[in-house]
Chains A and B, each alone.
Chain A
Amino acid sequence: MYPARFRYEAPRTLDEALDLLRTYGDEAKVLAGGQSLIPMVKLRFAAPEMLVDINNIPGLGYHRETAAGVLEVGALCRHVDLEYSDILAERRPLMASAAPMIADPIVRNRGTLVGSLCHADPQGDWASVMLALDAEVVAASATGRRVIPMAEFVTGPFTTTLLPGELAVEARVPAPEGTPFGRYLKLERRVGDFATVGVAVAVDLSGGKVVRAGIALTGVGGNNIKAVAAEQALVGGELDAAAVEEAARLAAAAARPRTDHRGSADYKRHVVRTFVTRALESSVPVAA
Chain B
Amino acid sequence: MEKLVNKRRVTVTVNGEERVVEVEPRVLLAHLLRQGLGLTGTHIGCDTTNCGACTVLVDGRPTKSCTMLAVQTDGHEVRTVEGMAQASELHPIQEGFKEEHGLQCGYCTPGMMMSAMALLERNPDPTEEEIRWALSGNLCRCTGYQNIVKAVLWAAKKMQPAVTA
Contact = CB atoms under 8 A, between A and B. Distances in A.
**Among B4, B8, B67, residue most surrounded by chain A Cβ atoms (within 10 Å):** B67
Nearest to A38: B67
A43 B6 CA distance: 21
A34 B69 contact: yes
Interface string B1-26: 10110101000000000000000111
A8 B136 contact: no
A267 interface: no
Interface string B44-57: 00011110100100
Given A3-B26, A4-B26, A5-B24, A107 B72 contact: no
Interface stretch (B58-66, B77-85, B98-106, B151-159): B58-66
B119 to A, nearest CB: 9
B147 to A, nearest CB: 19
A39 B137 contact: no
A38 B6 CA distance: 19
Nearest to B55: A106
A42 B62 contact: no
Interface in A1-58: 1-8, 10, 31, 34-35, 38-39, 41-43, 51, 53, 55
Prevailing SS type, chain A contact patch:
loop
Interface in B129-147: 133-134, 136-138
A157 B63 CA distance: 27
A104 B26 contact: no
A192 B137 contact: yes
B60 to A, nearest CB: 10
Interface residues of A, number: 30
A147 to B, nearest CB: 30
Contacts of A104: 52, 136-137
Contacts of A191: 136-137
A258 interface: no
A55 B73 CA distance: 11
A285 interface: no
A283 interface: no
Given A2-B26, A2-B31, A106 B48 contact: no
Contacts of B33: none
B52 A106 contact: yes
Nearest to A43: B48
Contacts of B67: 34-35, 38-39, 107, 110
A23 to B, nearest CB: 16
A1 B64 contact: no
Contacts of B62: 105-106, 109
B109 interface: no
B68 interface: yes
Given A106-B115, A109-B62, A39 B48 contact: yes
B31 A8 contact: no
Given A34-B67, A38-B67, A7 B25 contact: yes
Contacts of B66: 42
Contact of A10 (B3, B47, B71, B137): B71
A134 B27 CA distance: 39
30 contacts: A2-B27, A2-B28, A3-B26, A5-B1, A5-B4, A5-B26, A6-B25, A6-B26, A7-B4, A7-B6, A8-B6, A8-B8, A8-B25, A8-B71, A35-B49, A35-B64, A35-B67, A38-B28, A38-B68, A38-B69, A42-B48, A53-B69, A104-B52, A105-B62, A105-B115, A106-B138, A107-B49, A110-B64, A110-B67, A110-B68
